[in-house]
Structure 1
Amino acid sequence: MTMDLFSQFASTTSFGLPLILVAMLTPWLFFPTPSAQWVNNRLLTFQNWFLMLFTKQLLLPLNLPAHKWAFILTSLMTFLLSMNLLGLFPYTFTPTTQLSINLGLAVPLWLATVLVGFRNQFNHSLAHFLPEGTPTPLIPVLILIETISLFIRPLALGVRLTANLTAGHLLIHLISSAVLAIFSLSPTAAFITFLVLILLTILEIAVAMIQAYVFILLLSLYLQENT
């Protein structure tokens, strides 16, 4: 039973080749490329409006040097949002349920924000490890705590995204299996369970969008501390 539940998170293969790269590259095919026409269609207009709105809200609290990150953060937001939502369709695979994928995105970007801070404001970055006015006996302990909290940030980014999506997929799988199991015993209970499944699916769509936004928001906060 346990293997059946978690088999949906295993990387699918075809002819011995993993299809996780296909699952990661497919979302980009659904976004239209900007045209040279004077008037865009509705899809392009909505896409441009969403990207402009998100970029404006993301860069509002950031300093001017951090605005250079607008393209990569907006692209990553679109990438995560697309993979999270497409993974909710039947017979699809969600790459963001893999901790290795999420850590592969979180660690380099987190490390880049740290390196930017040490390059641009070295003294200010070091000051984070020891708050002003700390008693002398507590200095080694506080430095150790701040160091651990710094290095745990990328792990928290990856685990948060993985855990939320994995839990939602497991709940959907369990409740959908319960609908089929109790339908022969009580159609009324099966119908009520099916309504719960619909509500859970709507909640999971919201979670997929929120978790993609939280991932980028935390990266922008780390960037704000180092610029």
Structure 2
Amino acid sequence: MSERPILIVEDEEKIANLLADYLAQAGFRSRVLLEGTEAVEVVQTERPALVILDLMLPGKDGLAICREVRQFSQVPILMLTARVDEIDRLLGLELGADDYVCKPFLPREVVARVKSILRRISVGAVAAGQAGERSYCELSLSEQNHQCRVRDEPLPLTPVEFRLLATLMEQPGRVFSREVLMQRCYPDDRIVSDRTIDSHVKNLRRKIADQIPGEERIHSIYGVGYKLE
């Protein structure tokens, strides 16, 4: 298990303590905050392994915390929400949630989601000592050389396709909104449409499929965006 704690930001003390107990049984340390005012500062200073964040909080709500944290950190965020209408927004990187659990929930479900998020981040992590390189399953990227390889064979990509794949490989399993992908693929802030990103994804899928027939790596999440899995 991670040596860094899980940060629980939940204003219902019974729920927060229950989650802390279940996480402890699973081998995780945790810290509890009962309101949102200090959450961003705690993320900055303590660098938790993951944040469990309630949507509705006194002091500062979960959406505001997500926005601020994402300005300096990609720490995984698991959102707790009773507002089903917010789910599409929560899953976009604009607001920063990696996953969500709807209230009411079973504590075991939250622990299972925590394990799943940390596991997929570990799988997609940059190999030690290989700064600027990412790997996931049969895919590998070298940002220094601007090269992509699939099953150790070179895969020619356009600059936009390379930035698109590099973004998706930052956190396999995480859903990236089209808006965020546009920002990452076009850092000069040019105006492009959702269809432009869809076209690049289609081309990238085709190139990967040519070398890995019958296996789809990039998945569409209806109304939200794309993820690598």
- TM-score after normalising by structure 1: 0.26
- Give the helix-richer structure, 1 or 2: 1
Larger of the two Rg values belongs to structure? 1
- TM-score after normalising by structure 2: 0.26
Structure with the larger RCO, 1 or 2 (CA within 8 Å, 6+ apart):
1
